[in-house]
Amino acid sequence: MHAITIPEPGGPDALVWAEVPDPVPAEGEVLVEVAATAVNRADLLQRQGFYDPPPGASPYPGLECSGRVAALGPGVSGWSVGDEVCALLAGGGYAGKVAVPAGQLLPVPKGVGLVEAAALPEVVCTVWSNVFMIAHLRPGETLLVHGGSSGIGTMAIQLAKAVGAKVAVTAGSEDKLAKCRELGADLGINYREQDFTAEVRKAFGGADVILDIMGAKYLGRNVEALAVNGRLAVIGLQGGVKGELDLGRMLAKRAAITATSLRGRPLEEKAAIVAAVREHVWPLVESGAVRPVVDRTLPVREAPEAHRLVEASTHVGKVLLTL
Ligand SMILES: NC(=O)c1ccc[n+]([C@@H]2O[C@H](COP(=O)([O-])OP(=O)(O)OC[C@H]3O[C@@H](n4cnc5c(N)ncnc54)[C@H](OP(=O)(O)O)[C@@H]3O)[C@@H](O)[C@H]2O)c1
């Protein structure tokens, strides 16, 4: 098969289309013939040499894919050759074929195209596991989403609205804020011009849950923006890893902070997240309440161009790559 490889870390042109050996599905794995994959911010870091795949994972980038089941490894039941699926991956989506633990497969939801389905697994699993399984966002509560127009943000807005929560978002332009409002956001905050802490407190008295991608840079302001009993779920460190935490403010608000990365979680935890997504999120997708947001779709050989686009942050939602 062919795959996008990274012979040497570097800029977008470090991504090289090359012939590589086919993966062989191990015990409990399914071989998927990839139809499409998606660019995630983590792929940019992997390309630059800052985010190695976890032990045992494919060396090629790609944290999600859609496609057709091509073969079953030993001990797999419940899936058949030819099934249309999408999958959460620890790597290897930018390739003709990928071997996936069976617990990380999902059927393509009804009403969603095979290519479009590649936009779902990573963002749905990340948002569901953090905002709902860890931070327990409830109907009527307020969620603040940083980077509302990102792949993650566009899914977080829709899922929170679908369960009856209020949503505030930050973004860096009025165009992006308008797109977030179209997806259901109640409040859009331009982080280049406005103080998100003051805006969220003024509109909602504080955020019950914050989905944060900025890390250190926003730590203090996020704690100030939390309501009493608020939960801050950190999933990205775009603004640095080390910050100062005012435990007095946390204590007074009975607040909690969590930080997780989906890619490195054990297989059983990923399977539990995927099962929860199939139970709770797939019906919302099939009813049309939640949909994949695709900015554009390029052939996989144009992966360097796709990385440039995501790096420049001109997109809204997901950038897909077809095989
Ligand atoms: N922990 C996990 O398991 C996990 C899983 C998936 C993703 N993530 C993280 O989630 C984040 C989003 O991922 P993605 O793939 O959806 O990326 P993406 O589409 O490239 O989005 C990046 C976002 O960052 C926003 N941003 C940049 N500076 C900002 C600031 N100062 N304040 C608020 N927003 C700012 C950008 O908004 P503007 O364009 O408006 O500036 C853009 O929407 C990344 O940090 C990624 O690493 C974590």
Residues 101-142: tens digit of each pLDDT: 999 999 999 999 999 999 999 999 999 999 999 999 999 999
- Label residue 231 by pLDDT band (50, 70, 90): very high
How many A from CA of 237 to the centre of ligand 1? 9
Query: Is the CB of 171 within 6 Å of ligand 1?
Result: yes
Give the predicted TM-score (pTM) of the model. Answer: 0.98
Split at pLDDT 50, 70, 90, the class of 83 is: very high
Rounded to 5 degrees, what are φ and ψ at 148? Answer: -60, -25
Nearest CA to ligand 1 atom 38: 172
Q: Where in the chain is the domain with CATH 3.90.180.10?
A: 2-120+263-322
Mapped onto helix, strand or coil, the DSSP state of residue 235 is coil
Confidence of residue 30 (pLDDT cuts 50, 70, 90): very high
Whether residue 129 has its Cβ less than 6 Å from ligand 1 = no
Please tell us whether the domain made up of 124-259 is placed in CATH 3.40.50.720: yes
Q: Tell me if 126 CB under 6 Å of ligand 1.
A: yes
**Burial label, 93 (beta-carbon count in 10 A; 0-12, 13-18, 19+):** buried
Could you tell me the pLDDT band of residue 34, with boundaries at 50, 70 and 90? very high
CATH 3.40.50.720 positions along the chain are 124-259
Ligand 1 centroid distance, CA of 262 (Å): 15
Provide the pLDDT for residue 205: 98
149 CA: nearest ligand 1 atom? 43
**Amino acid 287: pLDDT:** 97
pLDDT band at 49 (very low <50, low <70, confident <90, very high): very high
Atom of ligand 1 minimally distant from the CA of 217: 31
Fold of 2-120+263-322: Quinone Oxidoreductase; Chain A, domain 1 (3.90.180)
Q: How far apart are CA 311 and CA 306, in angstroms?
A: 9
Q: What residues pair up with 69 in beta bridges, in sequence order?
A: 32
From the CB of 125, is ligand 1 less than 6 Å away?
A: no
Contact indicator for 265, 90 with CB cutoff of 8 Å = no
- Cα distance between residue 186 and residue 182, in whole Å: 10
